[in-house]
Amino acid sequence: MTHKPRPRPGTPHYMTEDRVELQAMARQFSDEVVRPIANELDPVEGQFPEELVAQMGELGFFGIMIPEEYGGLGLGVFEYCLVAEELSRNWMSVAGLLARGNGMGGGFTPAQEARLLPKVATGEYLGAYALSEAEAGSDVANIQCKAERDGDEWVINGTKMWCTYADMADYLVLFARTSVDPDPSKRHHGISCFLVEKERGKFPTGISGNPVKKIGYFGWHTWELSFDDFRLPADALLGEEDRGFYLAVSGLEVGRAHTAARSIGLAQAALDAAIDYVHVRSQFGHELADFQHLRFKIADMAARIAACRQLMYSVASDIDTGNRCDKEAAMVKYLAGEMSEYVTSQALQIHGGAGYTKDFPVERYWRDARLTKIFEGSSEIQMRIISDQLLGR
């Protein structure tokens, strides 16, 4: 950057000079670095190059929410979402990579924070979640993977699903059942959390995996993992034994705001592509931009994006100030995911047959946007949360 960006006249008060500068830096990195990598690797389902991860670490992207005392930027969820939106404008997977650093240290002891967070902030120590199972997605309380104590060790047996980046991560946050409460209303009791430190690019003895055959979200593998008498030392337990459920759900508001930001970034990219396309494509002697139906379609897309963005800013601000916003976080995740699929689909339609090819990135936005209605809690789960808050369980 050769100059410090300043807020434009009329910029909302919450977009401070520091936030404008961070947003501009993320946008420049996204356009100059992420876009060409995405255009090259997404069509062939390639994996992130190591240089990309290193560059993100140098810019401090993995430590946005890590305290300055540990080498992070010491910022909040608002800034985290600003960067996520800009990265998603070119490849949602890279915005997802942000979460392999920020927010992955929940449950670390003070000693672990001092030892590990400085490496997390630079991207040297990135994590992956081993939480979901075939029968335990949004129903986290149904976890069946077992951890049994054997002297000074834990022995893990079971399977996990949807473990994105599990192979390249330096550690896994593993949730397993250590006991069973006979009371059906307390199914969430008895789940514990473990830190599984590993070598990047490999699985340790006792863990094996198969990549999931996805239709999008490329750049990294998502795994089905099997744990077969996998052994961990007793001190690998994160937090209190049998209290892992609370650790699993403690960061949901941040995850939903982050997913909303990714949804918005995808939709903005699709809108920008559609605007460019209607100016270069002509039919019946006129640019597509001259046809009122398409003009109104683009106006509608832009309005939906702007509405979701403002709600996302509000939710991020509430999280940063400590205000309870589980209902609002569910709302923004739901609305932004639904909006993103709609807007990217409309952009593809505007491109006509060209949109249904890999010659234009709009098909990538569309494929990835479809996932935003599923992960971090499906749209149906968000509606359940919202309705329970409004009407009672």
pLDDT in tens, 114-125: 999 999 999 999
Which are the contacts of 151, defined by CB distance < 8 A and separation ≥ 6?
none
Return the closest-CA partner of residue 20 out of 29, 11, 10: 11
Q: Which residues are catalytic?
A: 376
Give burial (CB, 10 Å; 0-12/13-18/19+) of 213.
Answer: exposed
- Residue 104 pLDDT > 80, yes or no? no
Q: How many CA atoms lie within 13 A of 150 on its CB side?
A: 12
- Residue 181 pLDDT > 60, yes or no? yes
Q: What is the pLDDT of residues 46-72, one digit of tens each?
A: 999 999 999 999 999 999 999 999 999
Q: For residues 362-367, give the mean pLDDT.
A: 98
Return the closest-CA partner of residue 232 out of 174, 166, 161: 174
- Residue 321 pLDDT > 90, yes or no? yes
Dist. CA 249–CA 136, nearest whole Å = 13
For residue 375, CA distances in Å to 72, 74, 180, 182, 214 come to: 27, 27, 27, 30, 13
Share of the chain above pLDDT 90, in %: 87
Q: What is the pLDDT of residue 7?
A: 55
- Residue 345 pLDDT > 50, yes or no? yes
- Residue 41 pLDDT > 70, yes or no? yes
* pTM of the predicted structure, to 2 decimals: 0.93
Return the closest-CA partner of residue 43 out of 91, 86, 89, 84: 91
Dist. CA 18–CA 80, nearest whole Å = 13
Q: What is the pLDDT of residue 146?
A: 97
- Sorting pLDDT into bands at 50, 70 and 90, what band is 289? confident
HEC per residue, the chain = CCCCCCCCCCCCCCCCHHHHHHHHHHHHHHHHHHHHHHHHHHHHCCECCHHHHHHHHHCCHHHCCCCHHHCCCCCCHHHHHHHHHHHHCCCHHHHHHHHHCCCCCCCCCHHHHHHHHHHHHCCCCCEEEECCECCECCCHHHCCCEEEEECCEEEEEEEEEEEECCCCCCEEEEEEECCCCCCHHHCCCCEEEEEEECCCCCCCCCEEEEECCCCCCCECCEEEEEEEEEEEEHHHEECCCCEHHHHHHCCHHHHHHHHHHHHHHHHHHHHHHHHHHHHHCEECCEEHHHCHHHHHHHHHHHHHHHHHHHHHHHHHHHHHCCCCCHHHHHHHHHHHHHHHHHHHHHHHHHHHHHHHCCCCCHHHHHHHHHHCCCCCCCHHHHHHHHHHHHHCC
- Sorting pLDDT into bands at 50, 70 and 90, what band is 183? confident
Contact between residue 164 and residue 176 where contact means Cβ atoms under 8 Å apart: no
Q: What is the pLDDT of residue 1?
A: 47
Q: What is the pLDDT of residue 259?
A: 98
Burial track 226-238 (b if 16+ CB lie within 10 A, e otherwise): bbeebebeeebbb
Contact between residue 126 and residue 62 where contact means Cβ atoms under 8 Å apart: yes
Give me the residue label for tokens 């986290």: 140
Contact between residue 165 and residue 101 where contact means Cβ atoms under 8 Å apart: no
Contact between residue 126 and residue 98 where contact means Cβ atoms under 8 Å apart: no
Q: What is the pLDDT of residue 145?
A: 97
